[in-house]
Amino acid sequence: MNFIITCERCEEYFDQDERTPLILPDCGHTFCESCVAELLGEEEKACPTCGSEITHEDPREFMKNQKILDLIQKNTNIPHEIENQVMCPRHYDKVIEYFCKNCTQTVCVKCMFDDHNGHELLQVDEMTNVLKQNVYDLQKMLVNATRLNEENRKLIEQVKDELSKLKQQQMQNIDKGFMELMKKLEDKKQEIMLEFEKRYKKEEQKFMTKTSLVDTNSEEIKGIEKIFNELLQFINNNPDAKFLQKASDVTTFLHKSFTDLDIITKNQIAQKSEIYIHPSFKPLTLNVKKAIEIVSKFEMLPLNAMPTSREKSTSRTRGSRREGLRGPGMYMDEARSTEEQEYGGHPRHPSSRSNLKNSVRSNAGPKGGYPAISKRMPKNKMHNSYRDPTDLETDDWESRTKPMNKLRKHGGPYPQQTMIHAFGDNAEFLSYNVEDQIWEQNKYDNNSNYSGSLKYMSAASSPDGKIYLTGGCLISTGDPVNVCYEVSAIKASKNQSKKKMLNRRYAHCSVFLNGYVYVIGGFNNKDAEDVSPNTTNSCECFSPYENSWSEVCPIAQSRAFAAAATIMNQYIYLFGGFQGFNILNTIERYDCMSDHWLTLHLKLPAASAKLGAVAINNDEILILGGLNLSLKKRQKSVMKLSLSGKKWTSLNDMKIGKTFNCSAFYYDNYVYSIGGNEKDICERYDLENDFWEPIPSYSEITSLKDFQTWCMALV
């Protein structure tokens, strides 16, 4: 059954069953029986159309709208051809025939004259055709958009395949280029090796000639010795008279033997002066610095930008691409002497890992546990009114340092001066001028990446005046970090971030060795009272040139707050430290050429952590202070380790017990001990005269105490 007339409240069609049209007695508006029942159930009963109050509560008092019921009955009998006509909801007896474009609604004839007079009207069929055409147009656009989308999808797949092929070709081109480069390098290597092979072979031939001369002399000596033994036997077994009967023969033999041996002896002395290796045959190091600079500038060129064979030929004509053994980028530096190549019974490895990494061995000065020395500090600089420090009490010791302390706050940098810079968990850093004996307090540059938010960092300095700060833990949370900062000695107030370490750590050791920064061990747990310490055995090295970190061989025993010193630009010696809650007395040695740690049989005289270690030459390392197993008292002992002799020697104690965190340094025959004690005493050890003397303390310019959470570096 088709319903035509709708209820104004629910907009459902009236019928003769559940939705019978009922007239409200109070206002005369008509609603379906279902809506009337809902209205009577509401708390505030009112007509939805006019708002009049409904006073009757019994539905039986509501009359049915007979006019609508008759209309419904008529519509039931509409012929099939007009049953699809829609009646006007306002004028129940009128059919909707028009569409008002101004009001965008359907209207009947009566509505047209009453409410839409003068509006733009269209027949229902006409307007329907327009809308249907729009729908069909939309359908076409959907089909077209779908088609284009699929075409683009296929095109993307094709382009991706093409890009993959181009990538593969690009990788092949790179491989081909580097294979060609490696072949050229290998050819050059063979050429150099062949040339040196010829040189050494020629020298060997010279010694072979001398060997044949030695063999000839040996035969002559043996001949003389044989006759001499026979003569000696004849003398012992016969009377003197019989011996004298042979006097003529004996005299002839002795004369000839003396003459021959004299000639042989003179020849041997002359030959001995010629039996040596000429300095030119000492091992040389390949300088690949320029080659590395060229490699760093490699770039890919379009095919049409590649030089032609004619251009290459012209280039070779203008300047040979193959330099001699001593040409640019391929000259040789003399290696260390034989005595330097062997140390403590451990020869250098012929295949050096550092030779692969480094472009050239620097000749600017010794690298390792102590920096290059450009100027010597006068030995008597502080000795004018000085008496033996062992006679001074602690208070007297402190008072002696004050007159010498030329202090300055927020001063400028000291170009080309030897400085000790201290960095820590403070917005300012401290600097000590070693030669002028001046402390100063400086603020970090506004453009610096680090400005004092970390503690327990480690510092290592390079021969070119750079300081590398690594690791540490946040003073706010205690969490370990893996940061790395580079500080220039020219302007220590400014630093910049470098590539981060592979592992987070603090209280670790760091040294600069053979062109690399090595970081060793440390803690990797959160620095908090309720967190157990966790030491790590991981080690890694940083290449300042490549700004990259790489793993190296781990130490045998994990440790933190250990001490490290470098020897001969090849070895790192690692002493003591914490392992969890325990303190170690072991010593490990790292060989940067073989990338290997070795645990030495030699041990510290006593287990110690937070100790200081400085190398004073290629054979001796000083161990200063530290904490022992009792953890109650800082040590003031100083021990000297002889690596070749494998023995310890006690030296004069420091004036006060100290602990160290990168705060002991060797410079110009003095060992400097900075902070590390509750009285902020700083002192230095005179190696020549074997005594400690006070130096100015930082306590006059800052309230910071003992520098336990700071790190320092000498540049």
pLDDT at 74: 72
Q: Which amino acid appears at position 454 of this protein? A: L
In whole angstroms, what is the distance from residue 366 CA to residue 61 CA?
117
Q: Report yes or no on 183 lying in a domain.
A: yes
Question: Is residue 267 located within the same domain as residue 414?
Answer: no
- Per-residue pLDDT, 76: 61
Least confident of 108-117, 203-212, 477-486, 615-624: 203-212
**Residue 377 counted as domain residue:** no
Residue 711 has pLDDT above 90, yes or no: yes
pLDDT at 244: 85
Task: Flag whether pLDDT at 194 surpasses 80.
Answer: no
Q: Using alpha carbons, select from 560, 436, 443, 454 the residue that is nearest to residue 497.
A: 454
Is 676 a member of any domain? yes
pLDDT in tens, 342-385: 334 443 333 333 333 343 333 333 333 333 333 333 333 333 33
Is residue 399's pLDDT more than 80?
no
Domain containing residue 134: 126-281
- The predicted pLDDT at position 321 comes to 34
Q: How many domains does the chain have?
A: 2
Query: What is the predicted pLDDT for the residue at 440?
Result: 92
Question: Using an 8 Å Cβ cutoff, are 613 and 564 in contact?
Answer: yes
Q: Are residues 274 and 410 in the same domain?
A: no
522 burial via Cβ count (<10 Å: 0-12, 13-18, 19+): buried
Q: Would you say 468 and 542 are in contact if contact means Cβ atoms under 8 Å apart?
A: yes
Q: How confident is the model at residue 329 (pLDDT cuts 50, 70, 90)?
A: very low
- pLDDT, position 303: 58
Same domain, yes or no, for 258 and 399? no
Beta strands at 438-443 and 408-409: parallel, antiparallel or unpaired: parallel
Place of tokens 């030459």: 617
Q: What is the pLDDT of residue 373?
A: 30
Last residue of a domain, one of 250, 281, 312: 281
Closest CA to 589 of 568, 574, 606: 574
In 434-536 the beta strands, taken as DSSP E runs, fall at: 438-443, 454-455, 458-461, 466-470, 473-474, 484-488, 491-497, 509-513, 516-520
Provide the edge-to-edge strand list for the sheet that holds 670-673: 664-667, 670-673, 682-686, 691-695
Residue predicted with more confidence, 705 or 549? 549
Range of 112-116, 167-171, 588-592 with top mean pLDDT: 588-592
Q: pLDDT at residue 332 above 90? A: no
Asked if residue 273 and residue 394 are part of one domain, the reply reads no
pLDDT tens per residue across span 626-673: 998 776 688 999 999 999 999 999 999 999 988 987 779 999 999 999
Evaluate if residue 223 carries a pLDDT over 50. Answer: yes
CATH code (residue 648): 2.120.10.80
**More confident: 628 or 409:** 628
User: What pLDDT sits at residue 706?
Assistant: 66
Find out whether 484 and 542 touch, Cβ atoms under 8 Å: yes
Buried b (16+ CB within 10 A) or exposed e, 670-695: bbbbbbbbebbbbbbbbbeeeebbbb
- Residue 115 resides in a domain: no
| d(C-alpha 575, C-alpha 591), whole Å | 15
Q: Are residues 274 and 416 in the same domain?
A: no
Weakest-pLDDT range from 140-154, 304-318, 446-460, 680-694:
304-318
3 state DSSP class of 67: helix
* More confident of the two residues 448 and 539: 539
Domain end position, chosen among 281, 309, 327: 281
Which long-range CB contacts under 8 A does 702-707 form with residues at least 24 apart? 702/428, 702/430, 702/441, 704/424, 704/426, 704/430, 705/678, 705/680, 706/659, 706/675, 706/676, 706/677, 706/678, 706/680, 707/422, 707/424, 707/661, 707/663, 707/674, 707/675, 707/676
Residue 57 belongs to some domain of the structure: no
3-state secondary structure 478-495: CCECCCEEEEECCEEEEE
What is the mean pLDDT of the segment spanning 125-137? 88
Boundary of a domain, candidates 281, 301, 321? 281
Q: How would residue 546 be classed by pLDDT, with cut points 50, 70 and 90? A: very high
Q: Is residue 33 part of a domain?
A: no
Contact 431, 698 (CB under 8 A): no
| Whole-prediction pTM | 0.47
Is pLDDT at 523 greater than 80 in this prediction? yes
What integer pLDDT is reported at residue 84 of this predicted model? Answer: 67
pLDDT of residue 274: 77
Quick: pLDDT tens for 273-326: 778 777 777 787 877 777 887 877 777 776 555 544 444 433 433 343 333 333
